[in-house]
Amino acid sequence: MKRFLIFLSVFLGLTATALRAEPTFIPAPPEIAAKSYILMDAKTGDIIVQHNADEKLPPASLTKLMTAYVTEYELARGDISLDDKVRISEKAWRMGGSRTFLREGSVVPLRTLIQGMIVQSGNDATVAIAEHVAGSESAFVDLMNQHAKLLGMKDSHFSDATGYPIPDHYSSAHDIAIVARAIINDYPQNYHFYKEKYFTYNGIRQPNRNRLLWRDPSVDGLKTGHTQAAGYCLAASALRNGTRLISVVMGTKTDEARANQSQKLLDYGFRYYQTRKLYSKGQVIANATVWGGAKNSVKVGFTDDVLVTLPRQDAKSIPAKLQLKPVIEAPIKVGEVLGKIIVGTDGNKILERNVVALEPVKQGGFFKRMFDKVKLFFMNLF
């Protein structure tokens, strides 16, 4: 029996008679003065612009995004709490570079250390967090590399928690965007830390080095980095009209340049692209025939919203093709994959996503099963 095909159109707020295909005009991306950069849709993970995005480079304090992700993972598990009291070790106190100015032997709430790490880029706060979570910085680094692998960060290896220059410590713009996206989507309850403009500890008030927090009201994160080897780096995120983008620039020449180049990337992305929801979680897109079941059909759809990044000027109707299994037999469980949907054309496939059963279907009685088997036999003859 041939595969069951259903041809659909994804309608975005218009009726079929109102649809009119219009040409899409998008200029080339802006020239970005950085060794490596990427622009990603935070909801879909689609890449809008990239250049040398998989090149292994020293990430400087962008490393702290990986440290923050691991910490937020442990917070979500309940293994640690923002109210935990952390005793500051000699190692943490002695850290050079950017500092929160912690005192050795003092006891500091974990929440304060996270603010020191994210807002002030404090190396001392970062080491204190690592030691609290895993017992030592080296043990915490093992967690960082394990999480990086699970997130699909293929061009990263971490040797410390801070980004302090050390051999065999590298990442890429693409990988930094991946962990930034995970922070935003997986732990939104903690994302407010990344937009704080100032943080004061020990009587010392320090500004967030992300200049875009002052220049662009849509920007609400994430993290800067700088060493001589890495140059000036910035992972930024902004939300405009329901679309959230992530930009990462690595290896710019000045503090001002990393802000300007990031702004150019974000403005380009928001000007010409947007996130669109094609289907909603639980939306029924077809009723598929079921053989040998207590019911003759099953509702088919998606377990999550189906989102895609598209040019703003694209036509409002997008062709979609639903491919169901040739034969769907009971019993069927909720969430069982019954086929896939392909959105786009043969020459321009936008996305491919599994479709699942939205309801269970039990096996039918003996005579119902036998009848359906006979019916299928004769159908396959023709």
Residues annotated as catalytic (active site), given as ranges: 61, 64, 121
Contact 194, 130 (CB under 8 A): no
Cα separation, 271 vs 266, in Å, equals: 8
The verdict on whether residue 43 carries a ligand-binding annotation is: no
Tokens at 305, concatenated: 């919203």
287 strand-pairing partners? 299
Nearest in space to 174 (alpha carbons), one of 200, 146, 153: 153
Per DSSP (E only), the strands in the chain are: 4-11, 36-41, 47-51, 85-87, 107-109, 198-201, 204-207, 219-227, 231-240, 243-252, 273-279, 286-289, 297-301, 306-311, 317-324, 337-345, 348-357
- Return the amino acid letter for 305: D
Cα 340 from Cα 328, distance rounded (Å): 13
Q: Within a 10 A sphere around the Cβ of 205, how many other Cβ atoms?
A: 9
Residues annotated in a binding site for substrate:
223
